[in-house]
Amino acid sequence: MLDQLEKLAARASAELQKIASLEDLEGWRVSYLGRKSRLIEILRSLGDVAVEERRELGSRANQLKNSLESQLSIKKERLEQALHQLLEHNKIDITLPGEPYQPGNLHLTTKTVKEICDIFVSMGFQVVEGPEVEWERYNFEMLNMPAGHPARDGFATLWVDYQTKTGARPMLMRTHTSPTQPRVMEKSSPPIRVVAPGRVYRYEATDATHEWMFSQVEGFAIDKNITMADLKGTLFEFARRLFGQDRKCRFRVDYFPFVEPGCEIAIDCFMCGGKGCRLCKESGWIEILGAGMIHPEVLRGCGIDPDEYSGFAFGMGVERIPILRYGIDDIRLFYSNDLRFLKQF
């Protein structure tokens, strides 16, 4: 049995050396010092051993038990220390500055739309929105452009593949925000003061100055005695708030079937002050919107009596404003999702 004890001692020490976790150490304790371990069995059965052997065996077994117990406690302390160090090393220091995460920002178009609408809201206009998928009726017919009207050619139209029972294809992607005019007029009665921002679509090849989708802001006011002077005053004020107090405005005749008279409004170039430069293409003027007095036929078609009421309307391209302001040389940058561009604004 003495021999057995010696082998046990050697095996226990060798195994202990390899142990690297507290769980394994507990396993080791159970197998060498546990109640069912060989050593404890030997100690418990000492009474049955012949007297001559008992003393030597007993002292050796007790010695081994003490030795294993002290090896166990030393190992345990080491493992606990190592664990503590590991935790100490890996702990999170909450006083360190956090990783900043990128806050998003509004899209340049959205910002510009807000800026435009805010100006009109402060003048008493209300913001409404219309659908981007539109009926031909609102986009053209009610705006004084019946089927076959040559002005339709000016709006390269994306037609929606939808056919009625009679074979007509009356659905399209709106080519401008002007269909919000008949939509609002049909449902409400004057006085009306509305701005309607939104996306519009044109069936066009894209290049640096053309996109098949862009944004417009429509505006119109209908009341008794609205005249061209109201149009002029409102848009002049708008241009000065957006482009600076000393801006000059130029009104020139233009044609849109849904206004009469129609005009195009330009501001003096804010880059060269009107002397002529690259931005204004040497003309000194920058066109910013189309406008006019709402055509009596359009009013009548929406149930508003043109003998009693009159109104003005205007429509402007949104992207054009930051393009001019920041010298952006390609309109395609707006919708190509390049964050290096979008984050700048």
Where do contacts with ligand PHE occur on this chain (CB under 6 A)? 176, 178, 256, 259, 262, 290-292, 313-315
Least distance (Å) between residue 253 CB and ligand PHE: 12
Q: Which is nearer to ligand PHE, 1 or 156 (CB)?
A: 156
Burial of 143 (0-12, 13-18, 19+ CB in 10 A): buried
Q: Which is nearer to ligand PHE, 176 or 193 (CB)?
A: 176
Least distance (Å) between residue 225 CB and ligand PHE: 20
Q: Which is nearer to ligand PHE, 31 or 126 (CB)?
A: 126
Both tokens of residue 275? 């002397």
3-state SS record for the chain: CHHHHHHHHHHHHHHHHHCCCHHHHHHHHHHHHCCCCHHHHHHHCHHHCCHHHHHHHHHHHHHHHHHHHHHHHHHHHHHHHHHHHHHHHHCCCCCCCCCCCCCCCCCHHHHHHHHHHHHHHCCCCEECCCCCEEEHHHHCHHHCCCCCCHHHHHCCCCECCCCCCCCCCCEEECCCCCCHHHHHHHHCCCCEEEEEEEEEECCCCCECCECCEEEEEEEEEEECCCCHHHHHHHHHHHHHHHHCCCCCEEEEEECCCCEEEEEEEEEECCCCCCCCCCCCCCCCEEEEEEEEEECHHHHHHCCCCCCCCEEEEEEEECCHHHHHHHCCCCHHHHHCCCHHHHCCC
Least distance (Å) between residue 216 CB and ligand PHE: 6
Q: Which is nearer to ligand PHE, 27 or 306 (CB)?
A: 306
Least distance (Å) between residue 310 CB and ligand PHE: 14
Q: Which is nearer to ligand PHE, 19 or 194 (CB)?
A: 194
CA 61 to chain centre: 76
* Cα 18 from Cα 5, distance rounded (Å): 21
Least distance (Å) between residue 284 CB and ligand PHE: 23
* Cα 2 from Cα 308, distance rounded (Å): 124
Least distance (Å) between residue 337 CB and ligand PHE: 26
Q: Which is nearer to ligand PHE, 72 or 235 (CB)?
A: 235
Least distance (Å) between residue 345 CB and ligand PHE: 24
Q: Which is nearer to ligand PHE, 26 or 287 (CB)?
A: 287
Q: Which is nearer to ligand PHE, 57 or 142 (CB)?
A: 142
CB atoms within 10 A of CB 208: 11
Least distance (Å) between residue 271 CB and ligand PHE: 24
| Residue 64 contacts residue 8 (beta carbons within 8 Å) | yes
Q: Which is nearer to ligand PHE, 257 or 274 (CB)?
A: 257
Least distance (Å) between residue 163 CB and ligand PHE: 27
